[in-house]
Each structure stands twice: as structure tokens, then as C-alpha cells.
Amino acid sequence: SGSLTVGQFAEKLGRPSTDIIKKLMALGVMATKNQDLDKDTIELLASDYGVAVEEEVIIDEASFEDEGLGIDEKTAVVRPPVVTIMGHVDHGKTTLLDSIRHTKVTAGEAGGITQHIGAYQVVHNGKKITFLDTPGHAAFTTMRARGAEITDITVLVVAADDGVMPQTIEAIHHARAAKVPIIVAVNKIDKPNANPDHVMQELSEQGLIPEDWGGDTIFVKISAKKGTGIDDLLEMILLVAEVEEFKANPDKQARGAVIEAELDKGRGPVATLLVQNGSLHIGDPIVVGNTYGRVRAMVNDVGRRVKKAVPSTPVEITGLNNVPQAGDQFVVFEDEKKARQIGEIRAERALITERKETTSKVSLDDLFEK
Ligand code: GTP
Ligand code: MG
């Protein structure tokens, strides 16, 4: 499906072009008959005329103007890896995240107010690593469902006293579908009945063959509870990051994803964002999912106010009109007017999508082909 001018669109709908132009004006968009309409606008208008568009052609939330993250390889520089921890129930994901945070964040940031913002950064051997502090499965399913790919590396936690379980296998599938490298953390090795070899055997059957056995999967034996092997694990994460060379352009306008968001009584909508490309600054006009605003205040993962957030940094921001959803994409715009315009169109489209069930269904292809 290509683009469509206002005139062509009017013809397909059986309406005069002036009708469409008036509607666009009401949305704050000045258009002429020969102007191309983007997919978002076509869909919005079609829905407005009671012609709903089928689910499969709903424009991906992730693509604002189909640019993705807009990474420019020529000027890209290395950024910290973004790591998600996955694994079966009770295998020690939360304990591991806590253990990493306590050894690396709380100790290093004595005096800083450690608050929960859904993601945090640690420094190991002078290099940063970003951890998503959300359950890995949730991060993958909600984020991926919304088109956001935010994880660079998956740490798969498997309890050495329990072995491979259904959610272990599910996690492997998630990581593979997203083409994300897996590092295995064989946990609970402090337990008397721990059997790391058995875990290695079981995971080999899933195609994750340890380096010691001639494969290419990194296995690290840890005890999240006692803090054993945590440094080795961080080392291995940095090693994988070095090989993969995750990059971004810090000088660009920021793009990224929402980790979590809520309405705060005092501060209004508050969103934790992960900057995936560019740098986010105080005062930036921003569209976040179906809402927009201007970055009023930014707070980092240890509760400190910051003016700027570079790639792979999680920050909590205020200044949005409404509460976005986890997995929503955000994009910074040069001027506030454009951000508002796009934000309003997206908000209206979201409302129309909600009401869609009651309207007649015609596919977008019908609109293009007729
Ligand atoms: P869910 O979030 O429910 O999926 O569990 P989880 O994977 O986050 O596991 P969690 O960290 O809550 O740990 C489950 C239990 O295992 C807790 O009682 C932990 O104290 C214990 N545990 C975690 N890691 C270790 C470890 O290295 N050694 C021992 N002995 N116990 C551990
Ligand atoms: Mg947990």
C-alpha cells in the first residue's frame, strides 16, 4: 500500500475533497487536494467517516514516520547494553536483580535516594550496564506486542536444584524470536542439592551448549542469595556487549520506549523512559505513545535530578499530558507545535480505535484498491 492524496482519498470515500480538507483543519493539519496523506492520517480519517480499518493494518505503534530508532551507523558510538533477566518462577530473578543492585548501586551511591523506577544502571570495571527491573517475560510480551524491542541481552536464570522448567523454555523462545543473545546464570549453587551439570545437560538439549562442552553459550554459576559469581556474570555481560557492539547516536533527538508509567497525585503523569537513541533533555517537546508534552523534570535511577539522558539511560520524566502505556514508543520533536499536533492525532486515533467495534469494517486495502 502506497500513499494517497487528499483528492484520491476523497474519491474513494465518495466525499468532496473540501470535506476532507475541513476535517484535517479541525485536526490542525493544513492540507491541499494534491497533498499526500500518511497512513496514520488516512486511518484516522477513515475511522472518522465510520469506515474502520482492520486490525492487521493498524499502524505499528513503534514506527513514527517509519523511521524506527533512526540509528545512523556512520556516527554511532558504543552505548551500554540493556539486559533483561528471565527464568522460571522462583528460580531467583528478583534475588539476582536485588543482589546486583545492592552490590553495585546502593554501595556506590551512598546518600543517594534509591527509588524504584523500573530499570537501573550499574557500573562494572568502569563500564555501564542497564538492567530492566521488570519481570523479563512481561518486558518481552508487552514490549514486543507493542513493537518495542528494548532488550540487548537476556540473562536466563535456572535454579541448579530444579533444572529446566516450562518458563525456562518459554524464555529461550522469547529471546530467540527477538534475536537476543542468551547468557545462562545457573543459580542457587549454594544449595546442597544443586546440580549445575544437570542444568547444562538439559539446556544443551535445548540448543544452548556450554562453551566448556564445545558450544557457544556462556554459562555462569552463581548464588544470587550469597552474591557468588555476580562479578563473573557482569563480566560476561560486558564481554557479549563488546562483541555485539550496541551503538547509538547521542547527538540526535531522543527516541526510545516507555518502561512503566503512572498518574502521580502531585506530579501528574510520570513515565519511566529508556532512551534508545539520541539524548533526552529537559524542555524537549515529546510524543509518547498517544500522548505528548514537554519534558519538565528528569530523575535518574538513583533519584537524582538530571538535565540530560544519553542512550541506554533509564529516566523518570514528568510533563506529559496523559499517562502512556508500557511499551509505547517516544519521539522528541524539534518544535512543540508538531509534537502537539501528532500527539493529538494519535490520541484521537486511540479513541476511535476503542469505538471501532461498533462501526462497519472495511479493510485499508479496499480503500486503496477500489
Ligand atoms: P518469581 O518472581 O516468583 O518468578 O520468582 P523469582 O525468579 O524472582 O525468584 P526469587 O528471587 O523470588 O527467589 C525465589 C526463592 O529462591 C526465594 O526464597 C529466594 O530467597 C531463593 N533464592 C534465590 N536465589 C537463591 C540462591 O542463590 N540460593 C538459595 N539458596 N536460594 C535462593
Ligand atoms: Mg521475582
Q: Supply the pLDDT for residue 112.
A: 40
Q: Give per-residue pLDDT as tens, 285-317.
A: 999 988 999 999 999 988 899 999 999 999 999
Q: Supply the pLDDT for residue 356.
A: 60
Buried residues in 178-214 as b, exposed as e (16+ CB within 10 A)? bebbbbbbbbbbeeeebbbebbbebbeebebbbeeee
Dist CA 13 CA 146 (whole Å): 30
Residues ≥6 apart with Cβ < 8 Å to 94: none
Which of helix, strand or coil describes residue 8?
helix
Q: Does residue 94 have its Cβ closer than 6 Å to ligand 1?
A: yes
Dist CA 30 CA 362 (whole Å): 27
Q: Supply the pLDDT for residue 51.
A: 64
Return the beta strands (E) in the chain as ranges.
Answer: 4-5, 36-37, 51-52, 77-78, 82-87, 119-124, 127-132, 153-159, 182-187, 218-221, 247-248, 255-264, 268-277, 280-281, 285-288, 291-299, 308-309, 314-320, 329-332, 360-361
List 279's β-bridge partners, or say none: 253
Atom of ligand 1 nearest to the CA of 226: 27
CA 320 – ligand 2 centroid, Å: 30
Name the residue of 89, 91, 95 to mutate for ligand 1: max ligand atoms within 8 A of Cβ: 95
| Amino acid in the structure at residue 177 | A
List 51's β-bridge partners, or say none: 360
Q: Supply the pLDDT for residue 38.
A: 81
Q: Supply the pLDDT for residue 272.
A: 95
Q: Does residue 188 have its Cβ closer than 6 Å to ligand 1?
A: yes
> What does the block give as the cell for 197?
551439570
Name the residue of 90, 93, 154 to mutate for ligand 1: max ligand atoms within 8 A of Cβ: 90
Dist CA 275 CA 309 (whole Å): 7
Residues with pLDDT less than 50, the chain: 1, 53-66, 106-114, 357-358, 360, 370
Atom of ligand 1 nearest to the CA of 228: 27
Dist CA 131 CA 94 (whole Å): 12
List 291's β-bridge partners, or say none: 288
Q: Supply the pLDDT for residue 60.
A: 32
As to burial, measured by CB atoms within 10 angstroms (0-12 exposed, 13-18 middle, 19+ buried), residue 332 is: buried
CA 90 – ligand 2 centroid, Å: 7
Q: Supply the pLDDT for residue 323.
A: 96
323: closest CA among 249, 272, 254, 252?
272
**For the chain, what percent of residues have pLDDT higher than 70?**
83
Atom of ligand 1 nearest to the CA of 91: 7
CA 95 – ligand 2 centroid, Å: 7
Note the ligand closest to the C-alpha atom of 230: 1
Would the CA dihedral through 11, 16, 19, 22 be positive or negative?
positive
DSSP H or E segment with residue 171: helix 166-177
Q: Does residue 191 have its Cβ closer than 6 Å to ligand 1?
A: yes
Q: Supply the pLDDT for residue 80.
A: 98
Q: Does residue 136 have its Cβ closer than 6 Å to ligand 1?
A: no
Q: How many helices (H) and strands (E) does the chain have?
A: 10, 20
Note the ligand closest to the C-alpha atom of 189: 1
Buried residues in 25-55 as b, exposed as e (16+ CB within 10 A)? eeeebebeeebebebbbbbbbbbbeebbbee
| Cβ atoms within 10 Å, residue 177 | 10
Spatial contact of 249 and 77, defined as CB atoms under 8 Å apart: yes
Tell me which DSSP letter residue 60 carries: P
Name the residue of 94, 102, 193 to mutate for ligand 1: max ligand atoms within 8 A of Cβ: 94
Atom of ligand 1 nearest to the CA of 89: 4
| Amino acid in the structure at residue 8 | Q
Distance of CA 255 to the CA centre of its chain: 10
Q: Supply the pLDDT for residue 143.
A: 72
* Alpha-carbon separation of residue 209 from 136, 182, 226, 345 (angstroms): 22, 11, 26, 49
CA 202 – ligand 1 centroid, Å: 20
List 309's β-bridge partners, or say none: 280
CA 58 – ligand 2 centroid, Å: 34
Annotated binding-site residues for GTP read 87-94, 133-137, 187-190
ipTM of this complex prediction, to 2 decimal places:
0.99
279: closest CA among 263, 303, 255, 299?
255
Strands 360-361 and 51-52: parallel
